[in-house]
């Protein structure tokens, strides 16, 4: 085995105190996603959108990577082949745990982008809708997040990596959000072995070759130890 592609979702960061989305009581049951996670919502009320993401950014900055994040960093450092980490998460806990080969397909809370000129820069802890873009000075700064209706980042690179992988691993994701939900099908079509690590198995039996059920902070370190052994 030379190449591992790992997809992570909100479940890997939940034990660090970051909110999940689709579980009972998740973020999407508390907010109207049309208002805080679409370009149209941002155009209507930039202050509301910034308040939502400022709170999430503060939550992220006050959180710490957990044992699952640390285990994946150990895997990348110790595996003799290539480990690519694709995350749906917009937090930076993978990087803070030590992972380096990370693709954020849904963007990152740590980044800001100008809706007028597309300039990107590191986001402050709290973004202000009136703050000027450092490049064009337009007051159009938004979080560098992929909203509903927008194309996820790095898709060509991810699809290429899936086709070349020996193992695809899905960790802590509901398997309901496309295009990420289709990665297992793409991997299987290319003859890639598949593994799911999740608190509970996905809702489609037999989708993965192997399933490990349990909390990420327990299941992921155990699996990483198995691989590195």
Q: Around 55, how many Cα atoms within 13 Å sit in the side-chain half-sphere?
A: 9
**63: helix, strand or coil:** coil
Which phi-psi region, left, alpha or beta, contains residue 175 (left: φ > 0; alpha: ψ -120 to 50)? left
For the sheet with 107-114, list strands across it: 120-122, 107-114, 141-145
Nearest Cα to Cα of residue 203 among 154, 170, 159: 170
Q: Which of 50, 69, 94, 106 is catalytic?
A: 106
94 a catalytic residue: no
Residues carrying an active site annotation:
106
């Amino acid at each position: 085995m030379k190449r591992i592609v790992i997809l992570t979702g909100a479940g890997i960061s939940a034990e660090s105190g970051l909110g999940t989305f689709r579980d009972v009581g998740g973020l999407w049951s508390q907010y109207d996603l049309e208002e805080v996670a679409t370009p149209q919502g941002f155009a209507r009320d930039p202050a509301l959108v910034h308040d939502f993401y400022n709170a999430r950014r503060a939550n992220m900055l006050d959180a710490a990577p957990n044992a699952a994040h640390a285990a994946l960093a150990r895997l990348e450092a110790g595996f003799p082949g290539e480990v690519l980490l694709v995350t749906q998460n917009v937090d930076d806990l993978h990087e803070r745990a030590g992972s380096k080969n990370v693709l954020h397909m849904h963007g990152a809370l740590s980044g800001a982008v100008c809706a007028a000129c597309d300039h990107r820069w590191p986001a402050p802890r709290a973004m202000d809708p009136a703050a000027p873009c450092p490049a064009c000075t337009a007051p159009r700064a938004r979080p560098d997040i992929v909203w509903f209706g927008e194309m996820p980042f790095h898709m060509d690179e991810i699809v290429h990596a899936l086709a070349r992988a020996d193992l695809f691993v899905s960790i802590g994701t509901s398997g309901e959000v496309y295009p990420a939900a289709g990665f297992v099908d793409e991997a299987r079509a290319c003859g890639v072995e598949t593994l799911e690590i999740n608190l509970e198995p996905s809702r489609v039996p037999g989708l993965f070759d192997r399933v490990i059920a349990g909390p990420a902070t327990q299941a992921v370190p155990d699996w990483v130890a198995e691989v590195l052994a």
